[in-house]
Amino acid sequence: MTHQQTTGTATSPLRALRSLLNPYGLWMIFALPAGAMTVAIFTSDDPTMLHQMIHPSGEFSARFLIVTLMATPLTMVLRGWRWPQWLRRNRRYLGVAAFGYALLHTILYLIDKAGLDPVITELPKFYIWTGWVAFLIFVPLAITSNDWFVRRMGTWWKWLQRWSYAAAVLTLAHWAALNDWGGVTPALVHFGPLAALEAYRVWFWYLRPRGVAAA
């Protein structure tokens, strides 16, 4: 076998992986949990199944948001590594997926409440209004996550996208306050790595001694 044949054989799995991870393949992968939740809701004999899917849909929204925001600081920490660069190139897709699961989370919540009055009654609760505000922030971020808006909005697009950090803080508060603050531990476990990376990012750009060379 020639060197060229060996190289071709070695790189073929990589090419197949890249083909899978094109936008359409990514959307299929991102949609798998939502598909599983939908199947469970429509096929289960448990009448509470829809209610049970509210929290997992919110968790997946939070996870996609965390990965989206981790992309940039990860490229700083792991310089030269390919997968953080891949995350950064695809963070718009990840952000839209975060919105998609937030939308599913909201729809399931509204169906479960089965009326406007219960929704309004719960609105003043901390763990409820923080979730609603986070969702409202998500909406313009998702709508503008395409090349047309990037070109039309210019520098305003980046300003708008920075609101994703406010959405992350509100999502953390929403999750932590669930069940009389029983969600604190899982929320911190999920958001802890993002907080650590953002702390490093702040240190790198604003606090580190200027004489220290970049790692």
Q: Return the pLDDT at 26.
A: 87
Q: Return the pLDDT at 17.
A: 58
C-alpha 27/C-alpha 34 separation (Å) is: 11
Q: Return the pLDDT at 211.
A: 60
C-alpha 127/C-alpha 118 separation (Å) is: 15
Tokens of 94: 């990840």
C-alpha 100/C-alpha 60 separation (Å) is: 10
Q: Return the pLDDT at 205.
A: 85
Tally of CB atoms within 10 A around 53: 21
CB-CB contact of 54 with 179 (8 Å): no
Tokens of 183: 């969600």
Question: pTM of the predicted model, to two decimals?
Answer: 0.86
Asked whether the CA dihedral 178, 183, 186, 192 is positive or negative, the reply is: positive
Q: Return the pLDDT at 206.
A: 83
Helices (H), 53-161: 54-77, 82-89, 91-113, 116-122, 126-143, 147-153, 155-161
C-alpha 183/C-alpha 9 separation (Å) is: 48
C-alpha 140/C-alpha 144 separation (Å) is: 6
Q: Return the pLDDT at 16.
A: 60
| Interacting residues of 110 by C-beta distance below 8 A, sequence separation 6+ | 119
Q: Is 186 exposed, middle or buried (0-12, 13-18, 19+ CB in 10 A)?
A: middle
CB-CB contact of 112 with 50 (8 Å): yes
Q: Return the pLDDT at 7.
A: 47
For residue 105, which phi and psi values (nearest 5 degrees)?
Answer: -55, -45
Q: Is 184 exposed, middle or buried (0-12, 13-18, 19+ CB in 10 A)?
A: middle
Helix (H, G, I), strand (E, B) or coil at 122: helix
Question: Could you say which residues of the chain have pLDDT below 50?
Answer: 3-10, 213-215
